[in-house]
Structure 1
Amino acid sequence: MNLKSNMKKVSDSAAGPIHAIGGWYERYNPVEKAKHWLWIITRTVLLFGICFIILYPILTKVSIALRDKQDLFDSTVVWIPRNLTLDNIKTVFGYLNYTEAVRNTFILSMVTSVLQLISCALAGYGFARLKFRGSGILFGVVIFTIVVPPQTIMVPTYLHYRFFDVFGLYQLFTGKHGINLLESFWPFFISSGLAMGLKNGLYIFIFRQFFRSLPKDLEEAAYVDGAGILKTFAQVMLPNAVPAIATVMLFSFIWQWNDSYFVNLFAPNYTLLSRMLDLLPGTVRPEYVGGVSHMSLYLNTGTLLGILPIFFLYLFAQKYFVESVERTGLVG
């Protein structure tokens, strides 16, 4: 025992000076020190450059939104306005009827997100666990919906909700050519509830991949206890799919909030983004415009007000968003 402890002390005493000499060499060697500081400077410059590229559009919009009209013609004003004012925000706030537009957009985004979550989770679980003939072909069709541009089905989709009918039953009993569901949120709710809404192919794919990664022992144990497919899905699989649920919920909410194509097709002038399109040159009413050259003030201010709710959402849900994306395997 004493021999082993003595040998350990000798080895430690021998390694100590060597480690100290190596650390001293790396610390005081000019070449190593120069490489170390060069890497720090390069990393700092890259981080600041990337952050500036990402934040540049937002900083520009903030600067323009706070400018007075006369600052547009002042070449010395680059970032900080010479005459700070909130008149642009007040004007755009009233023109967009901002409170009502945000409320409508929030209701539409939240309801469609919940409906897409339910329908896509059921479809993803079916493709992951329920094997039936033609499931591979059907899943391929689902993936195909991700790459198909929505413009290719614009006309039939519009006519479908303009003369909405289920198997011709409405026309059979009333003699009318369907119900007009345009100028309402019903087209969004129906398509989302049937897993045919915005980006639903991607959400089904996320749920399918996540459910496939879960062990089958969970389902087998539930089946042994007498649970059926729906009960197993609701009480066993869904509680373990919290990362996928958070990812789909956030993606669905943000994409629906930023959607302008389907909103203008089915329910124009209802949501915030559709009203923001009225800020384009030549569309704003004369009482809100001091001249064509002032349109950039209102357009940038409206864009800033449009992304403000999403900014606060991401500010509070950033942790859950990053964790959910990492656990669903979307990164890399």
Structure 2
Amino acid sequence: MKASLKTNGRISASAALQAVTRWYESYNPVDKVKHWLWIIIRAILLIGICFIILYPIITKVSLAFRDKQDMFDSTVVWLPRNFTLDNIKLIFGYLNYTEAVTNTFFLSLTTSVLQLISCALAGYGFARLKFRGSGILFGVVIFTIVVPPQTIMVPTYLHYRFFDVFGLYGLFTGEPGVNLLESFWPFFISSALAMGLKNGLYIFIFRQFFRSLPKDLEEAAYVDGAGILKTFWRVMLPNAVPAIATVMLFSFIWQWNDSYFVNIFAPNTTLLSRMLDLLPGAIRPEYVGGISHTSLYLNTGTLMGILPIFILYLFAQRYFVESVERTGLVG
């Protein structure tokens, strides 16, 4: 092309004219306008959607660091005029924050690990082990997703209030059962037996993921002499990292935010969700000019409740997005 444009080191006038003509013919101002218009509209939509999603968080952050005087200042919208940490210090004591976060983290992490193990085994069994009635049992698993937990509240409460295994405890001791309430044992037992919070969904995720893996992996393991459990542990589970990440994050976050089962099994335990439920009654309202400062404290408490989850998401969001895409939960 350079040879065609140059003649003895100079650009040929005809070649330059042809190049300009081709550029002019390919240039379509209408297409350019459409292209940039679509970019502007898309940017406005994304910014608007992000603002709608982040608006509650932004509001809570603004109120958490706002002094009481700013409640009467109409010029204060987002940025506090009088920055203060008094709201956080006050709510820190109301929530018994250190103990509540420690207990909630321990409970959420332990139940997540137990649910991960039990649901992975159940999902692998439904995906790879064919037996009579497996379809009916899997239908029951799906049914547990749509059944509200309130419908089985009474038998669940009585089960752990008088906990017994096949009546053996009552047979040997004469007592009606062991009281497991006001402890974490109801959460641990339910999670270990794949009957905890949202376990039906976790089993479904593992089943769908294990079904997508090629059977050649299992057949090769069987040829090498591995059994079902060894194949699951050494071959299938290492390839299920996306499903593991999804279940682990879902399980941890849902248990962290759960207040229903916490109020049933451990109504007097210091857990963050329970302390947040008690926060409105614990706050002593202060009225100045007919306006209460309670909203400052409630928004601060909510912000402190979601702060650990927000920090966790900052470090795990890449793995979470990848795991959700690979497990087929989108689309």
Normalising by structure 2, report the TM-score.
0.90
Q: Which amino acid aligns with 2:277?
A: L
For 1:125-144, list aligned pairs within 5 A: 125-144=124-143
Mapped pair 1:79 → 2:56: no
When residues 68 and 207 of structure 1 are mapped into structure 2, their CA distance, relative to the original with a 3 A threshold, is same
Matches within 5 A, 1:205-216: 205-216=204-215
Shift of 1:98: 0.7
Aligned with 2:282 (options 273, 284, 291):
284
Change (3 A) 1:244 1:21: farther
Cα displacement string for residues 200-241 of structure 1 (whole angstroms, at most 9, x for unaligned residues)? 000000111111111111111111111111111111111111
Taking only the aligned residue pairs, the percentage that are identical comes to: 81
Distance in structure 1 (CA, Å) of the matches to 2:283 and 2:41: 50
Using the TM superposition, give the Cα deviation of residue 23 of structure 1 relative to its aligned residue in structure 2, in angstroms.
Answer: 4.9
**Aligned equivalents of 2:238, 2:56: Cα separation in 1:** 40
CA contact (8 A) 1:109 1:253 kept: yes
Q: CA deviation at 1:169?
A: 1.1
Q: Following the alignment from structure 2 to structure 1, what is the Cα–Cα distance between the partners of residues 329 and 215?
A: 22
Amino acid at match of 2:58: L
CA contact (8 A) 2:324 2:330 kept: yes
Contact 1:26–1:32 (CA under 8 A) maintained in structure 2 = no
Partner of 1:49: 48
Question: Is contact 1:120-1:204 (8 Å) kept?
Answer: yes
Give the aligned partner of residue 324 of structure 2. 325
Distance 1:43 1:86 in 2: 39
* Structure 1 equivalent of residue 195 of structure 2: 196
- Other structure's SS at 1:241 match: helix
> By how many angstroms is 1:32 displaced?
2.7
- Match of residue 271 from structure 1: 271
CA distance in 1, matches of 2:108, 2:319: 19
Q: So what's the TM-score if we normalise by structure 1? A: 0.90
Structure 2 gaps of 5+ residues are 1-15
Partner residue in 2 for 1:4: none
| 2:299 alignment partner in structure 1 | 300
Counterparts of 1:134 and 1:17, CA distance in 2: 79
Tell me, in whole angstroms, the C-alpha distance in 2 between the residues paired with 1:307 and 1:260. Answer: 14
| CA shift for structure 1 position 290 | 2.8
The RMSD of aligned alpha carbons is 2.0
In the alignment, the residues of structure 2 paired with residue 19 and residue 133 of structure 1 have an alpha-carbon distance, to the nearest angstrom, of 74
* Structure 1 residue ranges (4+ consecutive) displaced by more than 3 angstroms after TM superposition: 16-27
Q: Deviations over 1:307-331 (max 9, x none)?
A: 1111111101111111111111111
Report what 1:151 is aligned to.
150
Once the two structures are TM-superposed, the CA of residue 81 in structure 1 deviates from its matched residue by 1.8
Distance in 1 of aligned mates of 2:39 and 2:178: 65
- 1:115 corresponds in structure 2 to 114
Question: Paired residues, what number?
Answer: 314
Does the CA-based 8 Å contact 1:279-1:295 persist in structure 2?
A: no
Q: 1:98 to 1:25 in 2, by over 3 A?
A: farther
* Conserved? CA contact 2:124–2:210, under 8 Å: yes
Which string of whole-angstrom CA distances, capped at 9 and with x for unpartnered residues, describes residues 243-283 of structure 1?
11111111111111111111111112421111011122xx1
* Corresponding residue number in structure 1 for 2:8: none
Deviates more, 1:265-274 or 1:304-313: 265-274
TM-aligned CA deviation for residue 21 of structure 1: 5.0
- Contiguous gaps of at least 5 residues in structure 1: 1-15
